[in-house]
């Protein structure tokens, strides 16, 4: 796993923990990822999960799908 993936997973866990202590489930969640030396914030619907993340040269790709699904379904 890359450092970006590990950092993203840790941040998601932290955000999920703090959100669950505040009452009803949020409809969106935010993820902050270091990409090319900068912090970038993504806001996703709570029903989505990131399934793929990659950099190639100067390009960055992040894919999210409905929870419980895959990129192919």
User: How many domains is the chain partitioned into structurally?
Assistant: 1
pLDDT digits (tens, 9 = 90+) for 7-33: 555 555 555 555 445 667 778 889 898
Task: Compute the distance between CA of residue 36 and CA of residue 32 in angstroms, rounded to an integer.
Answer: 13
Task: Compute the distance between CA of residue 12 and CA of residue 71 in angstroms, rounded to an integer.
Answer: 20
Residue pair 30/38 in contact (Cβ under 8 Å)? The answer is no
Please check whether residue 34 lies inside any domain of the structure: yes
Read off the pTM: 0.54
Give the structural domain span for 55.
3-66
Please check whether residue 72 lies inside any domain of the structure: no
Instruction: Tell me which DSSP letter residue 34 carries.
Output: E
pLDDT digits (tens, 9 = 90+) for 30-66: 989 899 999 999 898 999 988 999 999 999 999 999 9
């Amino acid at each position: 796993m890359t450092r970006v993936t590990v950092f993203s997973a840790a941040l998601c866990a932290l955000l999920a923990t703090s959100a669950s202590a505040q009452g009803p489930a949020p409809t969106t969640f935010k993820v902050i990822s270091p990409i090319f030396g900068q912090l970038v914030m993504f806001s996703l619907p709570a029903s989505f999960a990131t399934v793929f993340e990659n950099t190639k040269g100067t390009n960055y790709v992040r894919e999210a799908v409905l929870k419980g699904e895959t990129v192919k379904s």
